[in-house]
């Protein structure tokens, strides 16, 4: 470590301190040359340093103003790195990137874990065409995000994310690779924007159906979807060899879409 910093728990500050892992994140992100990489929470710039060498532009959002001196000094020669000193969640990303004209937009970041889901939702709802998101998350969260039907981790968030992305766990990162050391291991997730985004008549209805289907984990569809047209749902489920006694955790995104499009 070549800097002095008082780490702040409230900002989820666990800085990566492992060259191999940093290199591996950048390598496995497969960043094309003409890419704008958005980084959320550069910290002391360990990942930023690697990103600036492969991406044409890096735009990093950092909330902790105590890191300003370190970051400005470290990247003073790098015209392709820009910082926005504010809460990422309060920004209008579309507005922030309007002067960039890169061919590709990626998000690559070791994000603050206390706002993992809000960050992902913000990216999805930003109106920006983000091609790929490579983020570090807590192992347990990564397992949920990337779970497939039938897996006990599979829940409404897995289905919701699968609507937008193909999700993969790239590799696990031990808690020993951070300063300060967190309590749990992490995993690098890659979320590739789906090129074949399914046809959905009413997204709000689909998302409500998914949420309601998983409302009580141990209950079956008949119990969780009492307010819906159960006869119609049963008819659709038949096509997939399922019925109202099935549980949501056994259903693919495709089934939820079929139901939402036909009720
Ligand atoms: N990327 C660095 C690394 O890998 O060493 C730091 C990662 S640390 C887990 C998360 C970073 O996000 C911290 O620098 C923290 O100050 C910053 N952060 C926390 N909340 C933020 C927010 N709402 N907007 C922008 N940055 C935030």
Q: What is the pLDDT of residue 23?
A: 98
Q: Name the residue with tokens 């008082």.
A: 6
Q: Which residues line ligand 1 (CB under 6 A)?
A: 11-16, 40-43, 46-47, 61-64, 87-89, 110, 112, 115
Q: Are 244 and 230 in contact (CB under 8 A)?
A: yes
* pTM of the predicted protein model: 0.95
Q: What is the pLDDT of residue 247?
A: 97
Q: What is the pLDDT of residue 93?
A: 98
- Name the token pair of 98: 């309007």
- Hey, whose CA ends up nearest to atom 1 of ligand 1? 42
Collect all residues with Cβ–Cβ distance below 8 Å to 84 and sequence separation of at least 6.
59, 60, 61, 62, 91, 96
In DSSP terms, 191 is beta-bridged to 133, 167
What are the backbone dihedrals phi and psi of residue 166, each rounded to the nearest 5 degrees, phi first? -90, 125
For residues 202-213, give the mean pLDDT: 98
Per-residue confidence band for 256, with pLDDT thresholds at 50, 70 and 90: very high
How far is residue 138's CA from residue 42's CA, in Å, rounded to a whole number?
Answer: 18
Per-residue confidence band for 212, with pLDDT thresholds at 50, 70 and 90: very high
For residues 111-137, give the mean pLDDT: 97
pLDDT > 70 fraction of the chain, expressed in percent and rounded = 100
For residues 21-35, give the mean pLDDT: 98
How far is residue 37's CA from residue 215's CA, in Å, rounded to a whole number?
Answer: 36
Best of 43, 50, 93, 183 for a ligand 1 pocket test (most atoms within 8 Å of beta carbon): 43
pLDDT > 90 fraction of the chain, expressed in percent and rounded = 97
Distance of CA 108 from the midpoint of ligand 1 (Å): 12
Q: Are 168 and 146 in contact (CB under 8 A)?
A: yes
Q: What is the pLDDT of residue 196?
A: 87
Give me the chain's average pLDDT, please. 97
243 HSE (CA, 13 A, CB side): 1
> Which H/E stretch holds residue 68?
helix 68-74
Distance of CA 61 from the midpoint of ligand 1 (Å): 8
Q: What is the pLDDT of residue 2?
A: 74
For residues 33-59, give the mean pLDDT: 98
For residue 227, is pLDDT > 80? yes
Q: What is the pLDDT of residue 217?
A: 87
For residues 171-192, give the mean pLDDT: 98
- Ligand 1 atom with minimal separation from the 15 CA: 5
Per-residue confidence band for 38, with pLDDT thresholds at 50, 70 and 90: very high
Roughly how many angstroms between the first and final C-alpha of the chain, as a whole number?
58
For residue 206, is pLDDT > 90? yes
Distance of CA 62 from the midpoint of ligand 1 (Å): 6
For residue 1, is pLDDT > 80? no
């Amino acid at each position: 470590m070549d800097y002095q910093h008082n780490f702040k728990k409230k900002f989820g500050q666990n800085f990566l301190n492992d060259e191999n892992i940093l290199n591996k994140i950048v390598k496995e992100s497969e960043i094309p040359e003409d890419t704008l990489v958005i980084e959320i929470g550069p910290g002391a710039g360990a990942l930023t340093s690697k990103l600036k060498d492969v991406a044409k532009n890096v735009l990093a959002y950092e909330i902790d103003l105590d890191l300003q001196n370190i970051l400005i000094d470290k990247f003073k020669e790098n015209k392709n790195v820009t910082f926005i000193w504010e809460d990422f969640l309060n920004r209008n990303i579309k507005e922030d990137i309007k002067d960039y004209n890169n061919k590709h937009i990626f998000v690559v970041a070791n994000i603050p874990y206390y706002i993992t889901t809000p960050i992902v939702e913000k990216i999805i709802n930003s109106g920006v065409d983000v091609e790929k998101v490579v983020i570090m998350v807590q192992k347990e969260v990564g397992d949920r995000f990337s779970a497939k039907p039938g897996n006990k981790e599979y829940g409404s968030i897995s289905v919701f994310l699968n609507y937008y992305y193909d999700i993969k766990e790239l590799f696990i990162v031990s808690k020993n690779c951070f300063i300060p050391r967190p309590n749990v291991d992490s995993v690098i997730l890659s979320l590739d924007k789906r090129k074949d985004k399914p046809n959905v008549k009413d997204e709000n209805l689909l998302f409500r159906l998914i949420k309601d289907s998983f409302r009580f984990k141990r209950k079956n569809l008949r119990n969780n979807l009492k307010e819906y047209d159960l006869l119609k749902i049963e008819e659709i489920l038949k096509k997939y060899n399922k019925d109202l006694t099935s549980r949501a955790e056994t259903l693919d995104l495709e089934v939820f879409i079929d139901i939402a499009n036909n009720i």
